[in-house]
Amino acid sequence: MKVAVIQMNSVADKARNVAAARALMERAVAEEKPDWLLLPEHFDWAGGSRGDKLANSEEIGAGPASDMCRDFARRHGTFVHAGSIMERARGGERIRNTSVVYDRRGEEVARYSKIHLFDIVAPDGAVYRESDTVTPGETVATYECEGVTVGCAICYDLRFPELFAALVDRGATMVALPAAFTLQTGKDHWELLLRARAVETQAYVCASAQCGSFVAPGGEARHTFGHSLVADPWGHVVARASDGAGYAVARLDPARIERVRAAMPVRAHARRLREPVPARPIAAE
């Protein structure tokens, strides 16, 4: 299977972002003819106020971002893993950070909402509070893509290996990770974590990232790391996007997965750890 990971610089302009995503996918299909395409996290929107995000959220299957991806998959006969979209949650006061996947006929085959929300203080003091706007997902998701079982994760999920282990338990041989890693964390942790998850799962990890800058509430410029890539089951990077918007392409080799898992059967060797026995208190004299 031939895969393409799309790299974007999304901003607070939904129409512009959807058009940019379509143009990059059109270019990838014309030049490389991939079977499967992955867009970045929030390819449809970046920055703006909480109100802006809510106003530009959409119902999956009834909005410009998801409609474009569905129609693109149907027209070009490719799988489209639509990075993540700001999905309107019930009540309209919050959103979900949601991936939706369309098969070659434009039929929805999977949907996953980000479980782990990015609530941190970055090394430069910038505060990120994803939970102020986003409702977390609760369900692990995989889907079948012509002989490949694809596991779903989004950005900050990358730091939680137990999610990746759960995906492998459900048969995943590839994990899709759309992301918008910050520049500061990305330069130290992005590739390290992606390769680690590939080694641990003995699966391909395909990661599409946001790059460049966008304007956050208050007019603050925030910067994303980019460096979209594909890592193989041995942890080697087999494709990488250059700086700026673009894409990278790789071919997945199912035999490679089988060889790695047969040579080092870590799942078969895994043992359930016992809880430590509490120490007995020393009796008073």
Q: Are the C-beta atoms of residues 176 and 206 closer than 8 Å to each other?
A: yes
Q: Which of 98, 102, 146 is nearest to 1 (CA)?
A: 146
DSSP labels for 125-163? S-EEEGGGTBPPP----EEEETTEEEEE--GGGGG-HHH
* Residues classed as catalytic: 41, 114, 155
